[in-house]
Structure 1
Amino acid sequence: MLLATFVLIAYTTVVGALWPEPTEMATGGQTFWVTPGGLTAVLRCDQGETVLAGQDHRWSANDLGILMTDASNWTQMLWDRVPSFFGYWSGARVEPVLTETLILRNAVHDTFKSIDKSNFIPWKSHPRNSQFEPPVHGRHQYVSKLEIQLKSCPDDEKLHPRKFFDGDEAYELFIHNSTAILRVESTLGALRGLQTFQQLFYRHSGASGHYTDLAPVTLSDRPKWKHRGISIDIARNPFKPRDLIRTIDAMASAKMSRLHVHATDSQSWPIEIPALPTLARKGAYHPDLVWTTKALEKIQSYGVSKGISVFLEIDMPGHTASVAHAYPQLIAAFNELDWSTFAAEPLSGQLKLNSPEVTTFVADVLNDLLPRTQPYTSLYHIGGDEVNLPAYLLDETVQSDDPAILQPLLQKFIDRIVRIVSSFGLQPIVWEEMLLDWNLTLPSDATGQHSASTLVQVWRNSKRIEEVLRRGHRVIFGDYTHWYLDCGYGNFIDPYASGVSPPGIPFNTSGGVPSKTTVPYLDYCGPYHNWRHIYRYNPLENVSSSLHHLIEGGEVLMWSEQTDSFDLDTKIWPRAGAAAEVLWSGPRDDSMLEDATRRLGEWRERAVTEFDIMMSPVQMTWCLMEGGCTR
C-alpha cells in the first residue's frame, strides 16, 4: 500500500477539473508543456529500468489498442509488430499471451497518443473572451518523461484476472520538473494514474502543443470501493459491440472498474453459444444482431486493456422466455395472453424448475460460455430476480405456485449453477431476491466458503443492503430510486384499446379489468434521475457503520426497454460519471455540487471532444463560463 499519510506541499491549492475528485491534491500555477518531441516513459521496478515508450519505440501508439479490440487479427499483428515481446523468432504463428506487462505498455502508448491527439480546449471553463491560455512564445518548462515506479515488475505470465482486478488501485502522481513520477503498487493502479495524468493536459488553440497550467502537481489518490460499475441490458433492444467499446472508453476515463452485461432476457437471446447454435440463431431479433464469440472476446479483452472487468449475466430461471424460440420444451408459461400474471413485463415464460432437460441445458450453456469469459474476468452473474410463482402452475414438472414447494427446487437449481461457476474459478453474483425473498443458502465468508463467496446485488433500497450484510454476504448496491438510468421516460406499454381487458386477462377470467396504463403514462420508477440526484445518493444511509467495510461497491443500471444504440450515450452520460465519483470518492453532499458541476462539466467537454461519445450537457454554457448558477 502507498503511504498512508500524505504531506501537502504549500502550493497555491487550486484543484484542477479532475474527475473523479482525487483523494488529496496540491497544485501550483505554473505552466508545463509536453515536450515537442513527444513523451517517453520508463518503468522502474525490481531495481531495474525498462523503456515503455520513446523515440526508439515509436511504432503506432494505437497498435496495441487495435489489437486488444480485434481478437481475429491480434495474434499475427502482435507477432509482426513486436516479435521481441514474445521471445526469439521461430517463423511460426504463435498465440500471444495476455500479460500485465502487455497491458501496461498498451496503456502508456494509449495515454501518450491521447494527449498528443487531443483537441480539447477548455474555453467553456473560463469567462467569455478571457485570455486563459498561457503565452505561446517565450521560455517554456517541459515535461518530457514519465517514470512509473513499481516495487515489483508486472507479471509476464498469462493474466490472472482475479489477481489483476484485485490489484491496489492507489497511486501517487508528481509533476515537479521535466520527469513526471507515477508511483503505484500494481499495474491496475498505474492505469488509474495514467487516466489522471491525461486529464491534466489541454491543447493550446494558438499552437500545436499541449500544456498543464497546474504545475507543480502533487497528488495521492485511491478508491472508496472496488466495484464501480455500469450494468447495460443488451437483450431488450439491439446493441452492437462498438456501443460497449465507447462505453468502456468513458468508464476508464472516470475510473470505473466493472461493466455488467445483462446479455439475455425474455425478449431476445443475442449471444452466440456454439454448443447450442440454434439459441442465438432463433432467439436473436435478427441474424445481424447476434453477438459472436469473437465479438464477446473483443469486448472483454478491450475492457482488460482499460482496467475494466467485463462480466456477463444470463438471468435464470426467470427472464428466459427467449429460450423457447429454440427449445420450447424448456419453458413454462411461454407467451401467455395474460403476460402480466406470469411475468414482470412481456413476454412471459421462464425455465421449468424440475426438468432434467433444463438441467442439461443450463450446464451446456455455462460449460460453453464460462471458459471463454474466464481469461478476462473473475465474475459471473447468475441472475435470479423476479422469479414468477404463477408460471409454475403451468410447469408440468411442478404444477404449484406454493413457495414452500418451489423454494427447495430453486435452491437445488441455483446450487447447480453456483457449483459450475465456481469450478471455473469465477465468483458468482445473484440478485437480492435469491437471499432475502427466497431465503436460499449461498456460499459466503460466513459459511466458510470464501473461494466461492457469493456477491449479492441489491436494487431496492439501503435497508436491504444491511439485511444482506448481516447475513454474511458482500454487497453491490444500486438503488432503483436513485441509480436506474432508464427511469422517467414514461411507460412503454399501451393501454387496452377499449380501456378494459379482453377475455382471458386476468388469467382465467372474462376480462373487463380497466387499463393500468393511464394518463400521463408514467413508468414505475420515475421521475427521471438527473445527475445531481445520482450524485447525492448515499448507499450508507441506512447501514450500520460496523458493516461498511463489507460493501463491495455499486452499479448504475441501464435497462433497455426504451434505449438502443442510438441514444445509449446520452442516457448513460454524464449521469454515470456522477455515480463514478460517488464510487471512487465516497458519498457526496450538497456543499459539493457547485464544484462537481464545474469539474463534471469540463470532463464532459473533454469526453465529447476526445471520444466518439454523445454525452448530454452538464449545465448551460453561460453558467459554466460565469462560474456557476445557484439559488
Structure 2
Amino acid sequence: MFPPLFLILLLTAQVFAIWPAPQSITTGSSVLWIAESVRVSYERGDVWHILSPDFPGQNTKHKVDLQSSLTYRDDASSSGFSSRSIVQAAIARTLDTLFKQSFVPWKLVARNELAGFEADAHAQKQYIKNLVITQSGTDNSSTFKPLAGQVDESYTLTIGLDGIAKLTAVSSTGVLHGLESFVQLFYKHSSGSGIYTNMAPIAITDAPKFPHRGLNMDVARNWFPVADIMRTIDALSMNKFNRLHLHMTDAQSWPLDIPSMPDLSKKGAFQTGLSYTPSDFKKIQTYAIERGIEIIVEFDMPGHTTSIAYTYPELIAGADAKPWDKYWDEVNKQVYLLDETVKSNDTAVIGPLIQRLVDRNHEQIRKAGLAPIVWEEMALEWNLTLGSDVLVQSWLSEASVAALTAKGHKVLAGNYNFWYLDCGKGQWLNFDNGASFQQYYPFLDYCSPVKNWRLVYSYDPLGGVPANETHLVMGGEVHIWSEQTDPINLDDMVWPRASAAGEVLWSGRQDASGQNRSQITAAPRLAEMRERMVSRGISAGPVQMVFCTQNNATECFTESTSMVNDEEVAIPSTDGRRPLEKLGSCKLLPYTLRLATMIEEIISRVSPKTLIVAVIAISSIIKITTWLSTERRIRALGGHAKKVNTKFPLDLDLIARAIKATMNHKNLQTWDRWFTMPTGQKSYTMEAKPVGRRVIFTADPENIKAILATQFTDYGKGEPFHKEWSDFLGDSIFTTDLDQWHSSRQLIRPQFIKDRVSDLDVFEAHVQVLIKQIIEGGKRYDGTGEGDIDVSDLLFRYTLDAATHFLLGSSVGSLELPEQEFAEAFGEVQRVQNIIARAGPLNPLVPRSSFYKGIKVINEFVNPYIDQALSLSPEELATKTKSEEGYTFLHALASFTRDRKVLRDQLVAVLLAGRDTTASTLSWTFYELARHPEVVKKLRAEIVSQVGLNRAPTYADLKGMKYLQNVMHETLRLYPVVPFNVRLALKDTTLPHGGGPDGLSPVGILKDTPIGYSTLIMQRRPDLTPPMAHPTSSSSPPITVLDFCPERWQTWQPKPWTYIPFNGGPRICIGQQFALTEMGYTIVRLLQRFEKVENFMGPVDGGDPCLKAEIVLQPGQGVRVRFMESEKAGL
C-alpha cells in the first residue's frame, strides 16, 4: 500500500533536521556551501576585538576572531576554564568536523536519487562568508560545574541567503549546543567537491526542556579505559546531554585511586593498573567541561560496597556470606544480623544508622561545594530525612517519581522498564542442572526485553506526575550497567538508543502542539544522527536497514487508518508506548456504495429462486477462496498438525466430550485420547476445528517452551480471555499481556522478595488452627479422636486464611468459621468462572446470578481494606511497609499506586493464586502420603533429624530438607497446579514441532488461533520420565511415570521444559517461592504433630484419583484421611 501523501510530506519536511529536535526551526531550500576559509568571529559582552590567532590543531585556512589571544591545547593540562578557551576549542572541533568528518547522505535518500538531493557541484556556488558568535552573558565558575538549572543553555542560530550565519547564546554552554546544531545542517558532496546545506535560509530557536540530561555509565563491573570514557563524552556532547554519571564503585571492584587510601584500588581493582588515577580523572573532567558535560562520580553506599572488603574487611558485614542473593547487593536487612555492631534485621534499628551515615556523608559533600544524590530507596523505602538540595534518582517506576515529588524531592527520572540499556542480554549468572535451571530457563534477565530505541523514545519523565509538581523533575538519566558491557560493545549498547532519551530530555516527550512525538518522524532523523556519529568515530548501531532509510521510512511503518470524505488517511498513533496497529484499509468504501446500488438493481430484475442460487454460489466461492487463502498462509509458516480423531461434522463430538470430561473430572483421559492417533501411536501436538475454528493442542516441551519463552511475544492471554475474566480478575497480572502485564508484574514482584517469603510467622498462627481443626474434626467423626476427615477442605480454608492475612493484615478466619460468607462467595465465583471459561462461544448462556452475587461479596469485603490503605499518607504507608509488624501486601501496593481498581484487581488475583496454588498441592501431597506410609516415615525421620518435634522450622531448615523438596517435586510432577492452559497467537507465527507427516516440522499458527497446552499430560509422558527400579525392593515392578516416588528425584533430573509446575519463561509464577515455603512449612508442622496419615480414599475412588481440573487441579472427591497423633509431640 502506498503511504498517504500527508505522511510523505511530513517525513520529507523533517528527515534532514537537527537531533535532538529544536524548539523551533524553519528552513528553506536554497544551497549554501561552506569553505575552509570561512571567517568565524566571537563577540562577548560589549567589546569587539578582531584577532586571528593560529593554535595547535587549527587548519591554517581557518581564521577565528576572538576577544583576545589564547593558545588552546586539547588535553587535560590546561589549568582553569574561561569562555574564550571553551569556545575557541569548540570552534576548532566544529571546523574539523565539517571538513574532515562530514558524510555523504546516500543512505537517507531514495535509491539512485542522491544526485537529485545534492547541490549541483557545477553551478555557481554561494558560500557562507561569516559565522558570527555572540555570547550575551558572562560565564562564572558555576557554568563549568553547575547544579541543575544554573546555566542558561539556550541559543539561536540563523543562516541567511547573504552568507551570514549568526549564533547567539547567553552562556558558552549555549554556544556549544549551537555549534553542534550548525554542524548537523551540512553534508559532504559525493563528488568530494565540498560541504553544503540545501536548507537555507535557516532559523533555529532552541533551549532544553530539562536542565539535567545524563547517562549513567557503570565503570565498576567492567574496566573502561579513559579513551572510552572520553569517546562517550564526545557522543554525549553531540546529542546535547550535559551530565555523565560514572557509577565508579560497586561490589565487584573499586577502580579509583584515592591517595590517602591507596590500598582501596590496589586491592579492589580487577588488576594493578586498572584504576583511574587523579591525573586520569582530571583529564576526564577537563575533557568533559570543554564539551559542556559535567562529571558526576557515584560512590554507591551503604549497599554495593563489597569491594571495600578486599582492603578493609572489618568494615563490610557478610562480604563472603552465602547464599549471595540473601546477603549481597542492595541494602539488605538480613546481612546486618551478621554485623557484630548491629545484630538485627529490624528496620527500626537499621534505619537510624543509615540516617546517621547519610547525614555525615552529605555534610562532607556540601563542604566540598557539591550536591548529594541518592537512589530512590533512601527516600521511599528507608524514609530518610534528606536536605532540600538532594537530588533523588528514581529507577523503578512512574509511581516512584510521583511519590518522590509528592514528598517535595527534586527527582531524576529513568524508569528501568524504558531506560536501562543493558536489559535483554539475559542472565549473567550460571545455573546448575537442578531446579534453578528449570526455574530460570531460558535465562532471561530481570528486566527483559531489550529496550529498543522506540521504547526508550516512548518514555515520559513526567508521566504520572501532577502538573503542579512537574517542576521538581529536574530531568533524567539513561543507564548502562556493565555486567555484560565492556569497551568492545560499549558504543553499540549505548548509541543510538541513548540518543532517543537525549531528545526526550532536550525536546520533551510532547511537541509544541502537546502531542507525543512520533517514532515515524523521529526514525529518519535518528538514522541521520547515527550516520553523523559513525562518521565522527562512534560505533553506533543502525536504526533501520538501508531499505527503510532510503525510502524516508515510508516503506517501514505500520499505520492506523481512518476515513475522511471517503478517502483513506493514515493517522500516526500518539501513544508512543504501543506499536501502531494496522486496523485495515477502507479504500473500498466509496466503491461499496456504488456496488450496493448495482446489487439493488440486479435484485429487482431476477427471480427469488435465481437469487437464492446466486447467493449460495457466491457464498460458496467466498468460503472456498477464504479457505484457500488461509491454507496458503498456514503452509507459508509451516504446516498442519495431525488432526484429533473425531466423528461428527464441525468436530461437535469433541466439544461434547470436553464438556462431559469437565463435568466428570475426566479431562486427563480425554486429552490423552486426543493425543492418540487411530493407529494407537501418540502425537503430542494435534489440531481440531470445533465449530469451524482451528484449535491446537500440545504437550510437547519444545512447543510449550516456544509459547512461554522463546516466542513469548507471539503468544498471550488475548482479548477474549481478558473479557471472560474481567469481572473477576479485572486488569490483573493474570488477564493482561505485554506492556500491561509487565507493569502488573513490576508492581507485584517486590512483594515476593526473599525477605518476605522467608517470614514464616504469617503461617504459624494459622497452622496451629489447622492442627486444632484436624484433631477436632477426627473427634467429631466418632468421638474417639481417630476418625477420618476431608483434609482438602481444611487446607483450602487454611490457605485462604493465610493469604488474606498476608495480603490484608487480617485473616477471614474460615477455618474456625466454615460458613464464612466471603469464603463461600470466593469459591462460587471460581466455580462459575471455570464454566464460563470452558463454554467458549456458548459462555453467554451460562447462568451468572450467583457469580455476580459472589463478586459483590468479594468487593464489599476488600473495599474497606483498600479505603483504609488509601487514607494513609505516603509517609504513613512508607512507615508501614518498612515495619515487619505492620507490613501488608496491600499497603506495599498502595505505596506505589493510588488507583483503587488496580489495587482491587491485583489483590483478588494474588488472593486466588495464594489460596489455590498451595491448597491444591498440599491436598495432593497428603493424598499421596496417605497411600505411601513408607514415604511418611522417611519424611518424618528427616524432619525429626533437622528440627525435632517441637521447634518451628526456619526458612533455611526448609531449604535444607532434601527429601521434603523431593516429595513436593514429585507431587507437582503428577499434579501440576494449572494442568491445562490456553494462549492465543497474537500474530502469525509458528510452533517448532508437530507439523508435517512425520510431526517434526513447524506448525503454522495464524493470528488469533488458540493453543491449549497441558503440563499434566507432558509431565506424565512415559517417554520423558523413564521407569526406574523400585527403591526398596528389587523384586517389585519398576516405578513408572504414573507412580508417586520421591526417590526418583535423588538420581533423575528432568530435561529442560519437561517439568514446569509453576509455568515458565517471563510469566513464571511470581509467587512460587512463597507457595513452596508455605507448603513445606505446613507439611513439616503437621508431621511434627501427627505420626501417621492413613488412607480412607479406597471406598471413595478405588485408588484412581479423581482429577478436578477447574482453575487449578484439585482432588475431585476430597482427601479423606486419618491423622494419628505422635505421642512424642509436645507442641
TM-score, L = length of structure 1: 0.80
Aligned residue among 383, 391, 399 for 1:455: 391
Q: What SS does the aligned partner of 1:598 have?
A: helix
CA drift at 1:520 = 0.5
CA RMSD of superposed structures (Å) = 2.2
User: Any residues of structure 2 matched to 1:474-485 within 5 Å, and which?
Assistant: 474-485=410-421
Aligned with 1:608 (options 499, 513, 534): 534
**Structure 1 residue 300: Cα displacement:** 1.1
Matched residue SS, 2:446: coil
The letter for the 2-side match of 1:28 is G
Distance 1:494 1:163 in 2: 42
- Give the aligned partner of residue 532 of structure 1: 454
Q: Which residue of 2 aligns with 1:101?
A: 84
Asked if residue 618 in structure 1 is aligned to residue 529 in structure 2, the reply is: no
* In structure 2, C-alpha distance between the alignment counterparts of 1:598 and 1:185, rounded to whole Å: 31
Separation (CA, whole Å) in 1 of partners of 2:396 and 2:148? 31
Q: Following the alignment from structure 1 to structure 2, what is the Cα–Cα distance between the partners of residues 40 and 50?
A: 14
Aligned counterparts of 1:160 and 1:580: Cα–Cα separation in 2: 20
Q: Which residue matches 1:388? A: 332
SS of the equivalent of 1:582 reads: helix
Per the alignment, residue 211 of structure 1 pairs with 196
| Cα contact 1:98–1:159 (8 A) shared by 2 | no
Q: Does the aligned pair in 1 maintain the 2:144–2:294 contact within 8 Å?
A: no
Cα pair distance change 1:51/1:273, threshold 3 Å: farther
1:330-351 deviation line (CA, Å, top 9, x unaligned): 111012231111024xxxxxxx
What are the ranges of 5 or more consecutive residues in structure 1 without an aligned counterpart?
A: 1-11, 76-95, 345-385, 445-452, 501-513
**1:332 alignment partner, SS class:** coil
**Residues 456-514 of structure 1, C-alpha deviations (whole Å, 9 max, x = no match):** 000001111111112121100000111001111111111234x15xxxxxxxxxxxxx5
Tell me the equivalent position of 2:39: 40
Please tell me whether the aligned partners of residues 220 and 254 of structure 2 are also in contact (alpha carbons under 8 angstroms). yes
CA distance in 2, matches of 1:321, 1:139: 68
Which residue is equivalent to 1:405? Answer: 349
- Higher relative helix content: 2
Shift of 1:215: 0.5
Q: Does the 8 Å CA contact 1:442/1:454 hold for their aligned counterparts?
A: yes
Pair 1:122 & 2:122 matched: no
Q: Deviations over 1:303-329 (max 9, x none)?
A: 101101111001011101111111111
Matched, 1:467 2:403: yes
Q: Which residue of 1 aligns with 2:472?
A: 550
> Which digits, 9 at most, give the CA deviation of each residue in 1:519-555, with x for residues without a partner?
1101000111100000011222211111111210001
- Give the structure 1 partner of residue 224 of structure 2: 239
- Secondary structure of 1:188 counterpart: helix
Range 576-585 or range 135-144, more displaced: 135-144
> How has the CA–CA distance of structure 1 residues 460 and 516 changed in structure 2, closer, same or farther, with 3 Å as cutoff?
farther
Q: Is the 8 A contact 1:278 1:326 kept in 2?
A: yes
Aligned counterparts of 1:14 and 1:159: Cα–Cα separation in 2:
33
Q: Is the 8 A contact 1:164 1:188 kept in 2?
A: no
CA distance in 1, matches of 2:139, 2:520: 40
C-alpha spacing 1:158/1:191, structure 2 compared with 1 (3 Å) = same
Query: Do the aligned partners of 2:146 and 2:294 also contact (CA within 8 Å) in 1?
Result: no
For residues 552 and 57 of structure 1, the distance between their equivalents in structure 2, rounded to whole angstroms, comes to: 41
The 1:625/1:65 distance shift into structure 2, 3 A limit, reads farther
8 A contact 1:15–1:27 mirrored in 2: no
Mark the CA change 1:283 to 1:59 in structure 2 (over 3 Å): closer, same or farther. Answer: closer
> 2:566 aligned with 1:630, yes or no?
no
Helix, strand or coil: the match of 2:387? coil
Matching of residues 142-181 of structure 1 within 5 Å: 142-154=127-139, 161-162=145-146, 166-176=150-160, 177-181=162-166
**Equivalence map 1:2-41=2 (5 Å):** 16-37=16-37, 39-41=38-40
**1:263-274 maps to which residues of 2 (within 5 A)?**
263-274=248-259
Q: Is the 8 A contact 1:27 1:217 kept in 2?
A: yes
Preserved CA contact (<8 Å) 1:31 1:134: yes
The residue matched to 2:127 in structure 1 has which SS?
Answer: strand
Check conservation: 1:227, 1:553, Cα contact below 8 A. Answer: yes
The Cα offsets for residues 420-456 of structure 1, whole Å up to 9 and x where unpaired, read as 0000110110000111110100101xxxxxxxx1000
d(CA) in 2 for partners of 1:21 and 1:65?
34
Tell me the distance in 2 between the aligned counterparts of 1:586 and 1:555. 14
After superposition, where does 1:321-360 map in structure 2 within 5 Å?
321-344=306-329
Q: 1:548 to 1:32 in 2, by over 3 A?
A: same
SS state of the match for residue 272, structure 1?
A: coil
Task: Select the residue among 440, 458, 475 that pairs with 1:518.
Answer: 440
In 1: Cα distance, 2:343 partner to 2:59 partner? 58
Distance in 1, matches of 2:127 and 2:453, equals 37
1:199-219 CA-to-partner distances (Å, cap 9, x unmatched) read: 111111213411111100011
Matched-pair contact (CA < 8 Å) for 2:144–2:289: no
Write out per-residue CA displacement over residues 146-167 of structure 1, whole angstroms, 9 at most, x where no aligned residue: 1112223545x79752279722
AA of the residue aligned to 2:57: S
> Which 5+ residue runs of structure 2 have no aligned equivalent?
1-11, 61-69, 559-1131
| 2:383 alignment counterpart | 439
Q: Paired residue for 2:522?
A: 596
Alpha carbons of 1:551 and 1:591: their partners in 2 closer, same or farther (altered >3 Å)?
Answer: closer
Taking a change above 3 Å as real, the CA distance of residues 331 and 19 of structure 1, as seen in their structure-2 partners, is same
Q: 1:269 to 1:517 in 2, by over 3 A?
A: farther
Taking every aligned residue pair, what percent have the same amino acid on both sides? 42
Distance change >3 Å, CA 160–CA 575, structure 1 → 2: closer
Shift of 1:237: 1.3
1:289: Cα distance to partner?
1.1
**1:184 maps to 2:169:** yes
Q: Mark the CA change 1:341 to 1:58 in structure 2 (over 3 Å): closer, same or farther.
A: closer
Q: CA deviation at 1:183?
A: 1.2
**Letter aligned with residue 239 of structure 2:** A
Shift of 1:516: 7.5
> What amino acid does structure 2 have at the position aligned with 1:214?
M
Q: Is the Cα–Cα contact under 8 Å of residues 148 and 212 in structure 2 kept in the other structure?
A: no
CA distance change for structure 1 residues 430 and 50 in 2, over 3 Å: closer, same or farther? farther
- Does residue 572 (structure 1) correspond to residue 557 (structure 2)? The answer is no
Partner of 1:425: 369
Matched, 1:319 2:304: yes
**Aligned twin of 1:492:** 428
Alignment check: 8 A CA contact 1:65 1:110 kept: no
d(CA) in 1 for partners of 2:473 and 2:490?
Answer: 28
Seen in structure 2, the aligned counterparts of structure 1 residues 65 and 250 have a Cα distance that, compared at 3 Å, is farther
Question: Quick one: structure 1 residues 556 and 159, their matched pair in 2 at CA, closer, same or farther if it must change by over 3 Å?
Answer: closer
Paired residues in the alignment total 529
What is the CA distance between 1:623 and its match in structure 2? 0.7
What is the match of residue 79 of structure 1? Answer: none
Structure 1 counterpart of 2:154, one-letter code: A
With over 3 angstroms needed to count, the CA separation of the structure-2 counterparts of 1:133 and 1:65, relative to structure 1, is: farther
How far 1:13 sits from its partner (Å)?
6.4
C-alpha distance in structure 2 between counterparts of 1:457 and 1:119, whole Å: 37
Q: CA-to-partner distance for each residue in 1:252-294, whole Å, 9 max, x for gaps?
A: 1110111000001000111111110111011000113111111
Relative distance call for 1:538 and 1:152 in structure 2 (3 A) is closer
**Structure 2: which amino acid aligns with 1:398?**
V
Q: Is the Cα–Cα contact under 8 Å of residues 40 and 132 in structure 2 kept in the other structure? A: yes
Cα distance, 1:243–1:62 mapped onto 2, change above 3 Å: farther
- Which residue of structure 2 lines up, in the alignment, with residue 8 of structure 1? none
